[in-house]
Chain A
Amino acid sequence: MIMKTHNIFFVFVLTAISFFLFPLSAARPDEHSARAILDHIDRMWRGKSSTGTYEMTIKTAHWQRSLRIRSWTKGLDYTLVRIEYPKKEKGVASLKVKNNLWNYLPKINRVVKVPSSLMMGSWMGSHFTNDDVVKESTLADDYHHTITFSGSRDGQDVYEITLTPKEEAAVVWGKIVILIQQKDLIPLSEEFFDEQEKPVRKIVLSDVKTIGGRMLPTKLNVIPYDKPGEFTRIIYADLTFDIDIADSFFSLRTLKQKGD
């Protein structure tokens, strides 16, 4: 409901992307332990930046809408997101600097700081939850990971990595199961379970294309199990990595610009 969790989405995306940022011609599949895969990704990902445009479609029981969004990220500390379409919301933007969140509302020309105690609900009504964003922790830091399955499923050779939260990790999930294509180490899906191992939601990645110089899934679909028929879908239009972008770009001033 309330716009607070733009970052959720972003960190999520970053984390998701982090999976596919590694050389295609890496070591042979069986040398990839879970830790190795995640470490590799983390190492490759840290300190990098990106900018891109994507379309997000949300369908709920009462409405369906599509937004075109432009984003800039640097490391895990800085994120700027801006809506470019539809016209009604053009210019609405969110800025995350470390653990702080601000929203800009162009219609009233005001910046609203989002307090943690109110980050209820999702960003823009999407199915991303707050847990996805507030902690910028990576999956590697907060979870134990093991490869629980290596073999063929649905005609593909896949790795299944199961993540279980570490003792003191401040995360709401009981378990996360990630399915990765062995061939290209491209993630196929991510499923989230509560502590009783009941599945709560699933993210499906597909449409692998060359984008920003890499082979990546360009479509992410979030499906909540408790709300049948609803989904949030993100399709990347373009993505550029390792751009030259200063920390100072991520400021309230940039937040307030109405966009290119």
Chain B
Amino acid sequence: MWLVKLAWRNLWRNRRRTLITISSICFGLVIALVFIGLGDGTYGTMIDSAARLGTGHVTIEHQRYRTSLATRYTLKDIRPIAETLAGIREITGWAPRVAGQAMISTSYGSVGAAFMGVDPAQEKENTLFIKKMVSGRYLKNAGGRGAVIGTKMAEQLKVTVGSKMVITANNLQGDISAELLRVVGIFRTGSDMIDGYVLQIPLERSRKLLGMEPEEVTQLAVYLDNQRQTDSVIATLKMSLAQVKEAAVLSWRQVMPELAAYVELDGGSNYIFQVIIFIIIGAGILNTILMSVLERRYEFGVLLCLGMGPASLLLLILTEAVLLGLLGVSVGTVLGLACNYYFTVKGFDLTMITPEDMDISGVALDPVLYADLYMDHLVIIVSLVFLMVVLIGVYPAVKAARSVPIEVLKKGR
């Protein structure tokens, strides 16, 4: 106990140096926490966006569908699957989807498009399209004839809300089939691809178009409370759905590999950046502690002569390092969390400097970055920084403990 008291007093005897060291630790920790927080938040948001605009965090479909994207690979009856989904806690919702390629025509021309037949009731909580409407409204009726299209498609076909369109596709039997649709809403996601090529129509209408059975779908989009639970939910689902023939359970990483690649790569580069900062700061801290030990050699010499064992001396210096670490880490954590909180609520606004429509492989990017620091990341970073400080203290501590008292006393200061 007296060791701690002594260490504490030692630190504050040279206030300037101690404060400088603590502020270095603080700085490094705050940077790390803010960057990781923004990163976690941004990736999380992107993944959630992509999931909601696409096929969910988890997608259930026919096992051959992904490789060929042919409309004929369907899930014939979703009822047994729906029951299983209801029993899993992490799933906040799911939506049936029918997907295919078609031609959309109006009096003024035609465009090729990819359509998604959706059930508005089950989409309401989950899909982002609702939030991206710029005119009109989202779909209401699963049996109706409404369609929501993107701004680019509306331009090309020269339509507005209320206009009619004819959708023509090859149905499951291979024959050409057509249905009448009316534009009820126009959306803008910011991604050229989605705005010009994708439309959503009512589920039953799409089934009629393709000649499907009443409970048949192309895919089930499953939404999770927290995208980090994706892998565990998939494992559970794979077991429960083993007896459903030909059904495959995929994660968003498999359905959107480019997004996954971006997240990994950006994460990787973030990591490298952190390492660089840590090294720079670590060097500085080493500098400080070493200096402080060196300039007190005379004092340590005296202590050793007075009978303090080298082991105690080592412990003393280590304790100083530990205390420095604790102080620096505490202040740094508080500041870091405060910054993160600010960014969680207000976000890091880049709208000034970002161009209008940015996307990563078709997923639109939000120009405001929100932080969302995961608990386990927080713990890891704080522990690492603390550990680094203590480890840095080891060399100087050992050095001091090894110094031979007479030599030191002879040399003086």
Contacts and interface: CB of A to CB of B under 8 A. Distances in A.
A209 interface: no
Size category of the binding interface on chain B: 20 to 34
Given A117-B103, A118-B103, A172 B165 contact: yes
Given A116-B176, A119-B110, A172 B164 contact: yes
Nearest to A133: B176
Interface residues of A, number: 29
Interface of A: 98-101, 115-121, 129-131, 134-135, 168-174, 192-195, 200, 226
Contact of A116 (B107, B111, B168): B168
Contacts of A172: 105-107, 164-166
Interface in B203-222: none
Contacts of B169: 116-117
B175 A99 contact: yes
Interface in B241-294: none
Contacts of B110: 119-121, 129-130
Contact of B111 (A115, A120, A194, A226): A120
Contacts of A195: 107, 163-164
B218 to A, nearest CB: 15
Interface in B151-200: 163-170, 174-180
Given A117-B103, A119-B110, A195-B164, A100 B145 contact: no
29 contacts: A99-B175, A99-B176, A99-B177, A115-B101, A115-B170, A116-B176, A117-B169, A117-B170, A118-B103, A119-B110, A120-B110, A129-B110, A130-B105, A130-B110, A131-B105, A134-B168, A135-B178, A169-B180, A170-B167, A170-B179, A170-B180, A172-B105, A172-B107, A172-B164, A172-B165, A174-B107, A193-B107, A194-B108, A195-B163
Contact of A194 (B107, B145, B174, B180): B107
B175 A98 contact: yes
A130 B145 CA distance: 21
Contacts of A129: 105, 110
Contacts of B177: 99, 116
A11 B385 CA distance: 77
A255 B105 CA distance: 28
A120 B178 contact: no
A226 B106 CA distance: 14
A120 B112 contact: yes
B103 A119 contact: yes
Contacts of B145: 168
Contacts of A200: 107-108
Contacts of A226: 108
A100 B174 contact: yes
B164 A134 contact: no
Interface of B: 101-103, 105-113, 145, 163-170, 174-180
Residue of B166, B175, B176, B178 ringed by the most chain A CB atoms within 10 A: B176
A144 B35 CA distance: 65
Contact of B175 (A100, A120, A168, A169): A100
B392 to A, nearest CB: 65
A131 B106 CA distance: 9
A116 B111 CA distance: 11
A114 B145 CA distance: 26
Given A98-B175, A170-B178, A119 B107 contact: no
A99 B174 CA distance: 9
Residue of B103, B106, B165 ringed by the most chain A CB atoms within 10 A: B103
B180 A120 contact: no
A70 B185 CA distance: 45
A99 B105 CA distance: 17
A161 to B, nearest CB: 19
A226 B103 CA distance: 22
Contacts of A192: 107
A137 to B, nearest CB: 9
B175 to A, nearest CB: 4
A130 B111 CA distance: 11
A134 B108 contact: no
Contact of B176 (A100, A120, A173, A194): A100
Contact of A171 (B101, B112, B166, B176): B166
B153 to A, nearest CB: 14
Nearest to B173: A99
Nearest to B178: A170
B102 to A, nearest CB: 5
A120 B103 CA distance: 8
A118 B180 CA distance: 18
B102 A134 contact: no
Nearest to A119: B103
A173 B107 contact: yes
A168 B107 contact: no
Given A98-B175, A195-B107, A116 B102 contact: yes
Contacts of A171: 166, 180
Residue of A117, A119, A130 ringed by the most chain B CB atoms within 10 A: A117
A171 B182 CA distance: 11
B175 A118 contact: no
Contacts of A131: 105, 166
A116 B166 contact: no
Contacts of B170: 115-117
Given A117-B102, A131-B166, A174-B107, 10 more contacts: A99-B177, A116-B168, A117-B169, A117-B170, A119-B103, A120-B109, A134-B178, A135-B178, A172-B106, A226-B108
Contacts of B164: 172, 174, 195
A98 B108 CA distance: 26
A189 to B, nearest CB: 18
Contacts of B108: 194, 200, 226
Contacts of B178: 134-135, 170
A170 B166 contact: yes
A117 B70 CA distance: 13
